[in-house]
Structure 1
Amino acid sequence: MPHSDAAGSSSRASYPTPDVPGVNDPGAGRRLGLDVGTVRIGVAVSDSMGMLATPVETVRRITKQGQAAGEDFARIIHLVEEYRPVEIIVGLPRNLKGQGSASVQEATFFGTKLAELLAANPETATIAVRYADERLTTVAASNALRASGVNAKKGRAVIDQAAAVAILQHWLDGRASRL
């Protein structure tokens, strides 16, 4: 199945439980990491060995819950076709208690819709969409960029990419540990 098995296993159906790296692992290959926000989507990709995450770009968020897939989905699909990942990791911005919010609903909507679009195309139907706990990744990325001298206002797009890198790298490290 091209999406997370855990998407509906939470006690609150609208807030999926994060997947575990390495469980149902598709094997060697690139991974794509997404930090889905309400305004932008940070994108990162791993190397073909699944060891190191690097930033790709920031995509302007267009589609919201209840809307048809827009240009943001088209751009992510283009990146999937370009990088040919074996799985896509979508960050779940849960709070420190592990609970969801409107941001989690948007990330879940995006991941679910992306999985549907991938499943509709025979060339991408096998790509799994997984969810990863991303608590504090944007905060950590912002702090790291600020420490390196990047202005927060000017660096928002870079912060989203850095958060996507953090989400994906955490997944890759967890996967390597489990495998």
Structure 2
Amino acid sequence: MKYLGIDFGIKRVGLAVSDETGKMVFPLKTIHRSTRENLFLELLNIVEQKGIEAIVLGLPLRPDGEKSLTCRQAENFMHSLGRRTSLPIYTVNEAYTSLEAEEILSGKGIRGKKQKESLDQAAAMIILESFLECIPYERGLK
């Protein structure tokens, strides 16, 4: 099954995609938001072009499990996207994925402007990877 990982943000939306087996994850792109409608049009176009079968969205929960303002905005985005597609949309807690992505990119020597350009995609990869790691356990395969 091919998945699209989404790191939702008010200004930028990072995307990552899995291979057909759901075992490997790749950065796809960062969408710089102009209008809400353009964002959905671009996402649905990607879903069709890449043959996406399910979507994984990161929700930034606080450490205490409470929902932040950004989390509520991401949930609103999820509901709006759900009205535009029949694909299943899964969520994972994505607290600190941007920080983790920043550390990974810094460790690879990617800094400054290059890091900023890749950060949202790297966070989307982490979101998608964390979701995919849980699938075998849910199916009793590990």
TM-score, scaled relative to structure 1: 0.73
For 1:152 and 1:33, how far apart are their aligned partners in 2?
24
Counterpart position of 2:67: 100
Of 35, 55, 72, the match for 2:39 = 72
The sequence identity of aligned pairs, in percent, is 30
List per-residue Cα deviations over 1:11-63 (Å, max 9, x = no partner): xxxxxxxxxxxxxxxxxx10110000111000011110111111100001234
Of 5, 12, 25, the match for 1:53 = 25
Of 105, 124, 127, the match for 1:164 = 124
Map 1:8-157 to 2 at 5 A: 29-63=1-35, 69-118=36-85, 125=86, 127-157=87-117
**More helix by percentage:** 2
For 1:31 and 1:176, how far apart are their aligned partners in 2?
15
CA apart distance, 1:154: 3.6
For 2:110 and 2:81, how far apart are their aligned partners in 1?
32
Give structure 1 stretches of 5+ with no counterpart: 1-28, 64-68, 119-124
Cα 1:62–1:104, aligned 2, differ >3 Å: closer, same or farther? farther
RMSD over aligned CA atoms reads 1.3
For 1:53 and 1:87, how far apart are their aligned partners in 2?
14
3-state SS of 1:62 partner: coil
1:52 counterpart letter in structure 2: M
Counterpart position of 1:17: none
- The question of whether the paired residues in 2 share the 8 Å contact of 1:57 and 1:161 is answered with yes
- The question of whether the paired residues in 2 share the 8 Å contact of 1:142 and 1:152 is answered with no
After TM superposition, what 4+ stretches of structure 1 lie above 4 angstroms from structure 2? none
2:109 counterpart letter in structure 1: G
List per-residue Cα deviations over 1:56-77 (Å, max 9, x = no partner): 00001234xxxxx421111111
Give structure 2 stretches of 5+ with no counterpart: none
